[in-house]
């Protein structure tokens, strides 16, 4: 009886067949997981492509209907495509594009750098925050066109005057976003950094940056969007070169199809820069893939 009880208490050892089947089942389960993940990624890619394609098709159809019912006031898609040769045959499109890009990135870099520095400083300093809040409230309430008009009246029609006006108009947006994110940071992480005696550089890179990254990304996108849109408007009002000036030139001579071609071309170019350059700078998945971190 005792021997029988001992045999009952002994755990059953898996047979050789079970041991061989266990890795096979695990590998099969892992294969199913990888397949489901790849299928989900493909579905996400299809959805990512379907939405803009559908939006473009709907926009083209709506534009064509508008041209039919406008009695010729709105040019049709065929007329726009036919007249686009007049735009690309000119020698000034590339030069105007480079000129506008130089102005845009000048305003963009000054706005992001100044706005981030001031926003972080105001987030840490109560006195600076108390000083800036009324100014930000007034600055955010003033329309952007007012900045352009006032600076031009004071400083003239020089290119530097327009760039200054755009920096003054866009910088409060970045300051406001970054300042609020700095105020809402996790204070316990600051105490941890003091306890472990982090240097200023280590604290900024390892603690503060990851908390402010979403806000800086949002501020960067906002600054870029306002920079290129206001720059086209500024060039059309005050400059003789650039995409905005070219669009205004076509408008003055009632060349509506050429004006539409330039506007669509430059809008697509700006969206490509935003998606392929600016958004990728803040993409955690790309950084993790470089570092070999599994997704």
Nearest-angstrom CA–CA distance, 225 and 210 = 23
Q: What pLDDT score was predicted for residue 8? A: 47
Q: What pLDDT score was predicted for residue 22? A: 47
Q: Judge contact between 223 and 167, C-beta under 8 A.
A: no
Q: What pLDDT score was predicted for residue 230? A: 95
Q: What pLDDT score was predicted for residue 286? A: 54
Q: What pLDDT score was predicted for residue 79? A: 84
User: What mean pLDDT value characterizes the chain?
Assistant: 83
Cβ neighbours for 172, distance < 8 A, ≥ 6 positions apart: 115, 135, 136, 139, 140
Q: Label residue 128 exposed, middle or buried (CB < 10 Å: 0-12, 13-18, 19+).
A: middle
Q: What pLDDT score was predicted for residue 174? A: 96
Tokens found for residue 68: 């039919």
Q: What pLDDT score was predicted for residue 26? A: 45
Q: Label residue 294 exposed, middle or buried (CB < 10 Å: 0-12, 13-18, 19+).
A: exposed
Nearest-angstrom CA–CA distance, 254 and 83 = 13
Q: What is this structure's pTM? A: 0.78
Q: pLDDT below 50 — which residues of the chain?
A: 1-2, 4-8, 17-23, 25-28, 30, 293, 295
């Amino acid at each position: 009886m005792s021997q029988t009880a001992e045999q009952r208490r002994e755990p059953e050892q898996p047979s050789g067949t079970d041991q061989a089947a266990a890795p096979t089942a695990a590998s099969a389960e892992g294969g199913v997981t990888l397949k489901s993940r790849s299928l989900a990624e493909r579905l996400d890619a299809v959805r990512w492509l379907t939405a803009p394609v559908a939006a473009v098709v709907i926009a083209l159809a709506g534009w064509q209907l508008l041209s039919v019912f406008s009695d010729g006031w709105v040019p049709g898609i065929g007329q726009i495509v036919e007249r686009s040769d007049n735009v690309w045959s000119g020698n000034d499109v590339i030069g105007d594009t480079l000129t506008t890009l130089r102005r845009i990135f000048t305003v963009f870099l000054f706005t992001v750098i100044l706005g981030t520095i001031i926003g972080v400083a105001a987030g840490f300093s109560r006195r600076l925050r108390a000083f800036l809040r009324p100014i930000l409230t007034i600055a955010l309430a003033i329309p952007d066109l007012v900045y352009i008009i006032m600076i031009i009246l004071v400083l003239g029609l020089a290119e530097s005057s327009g760039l200054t006006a755009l920096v003054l108009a866009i910088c409060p947006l970045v300051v406001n976003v970054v300042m609020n994110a700095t105020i809402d940071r996790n204070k316990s992480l600051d105490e941890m950094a003091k306890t472990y005696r982090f240097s200023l550089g280590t604290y900024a890179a390892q603690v503060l940056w990851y908390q402010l990254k979403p806000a800086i990304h949002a501020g960067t996108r906002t600054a870029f969007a306002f920079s290129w849109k206001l720059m086209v408007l500024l060039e059309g009002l005050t400059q003789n070169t650039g995409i905005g000036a070219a669009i205004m030139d076509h408008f003055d001579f009632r060349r509506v199809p050429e004006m539409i071609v330039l506007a669509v071309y430059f809008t697509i170019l700006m969206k490509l820069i935003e998606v392929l350059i600016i958004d990728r700078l803040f993409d955690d998945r790309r950084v993790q893939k470089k570092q070999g971190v599994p997704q």
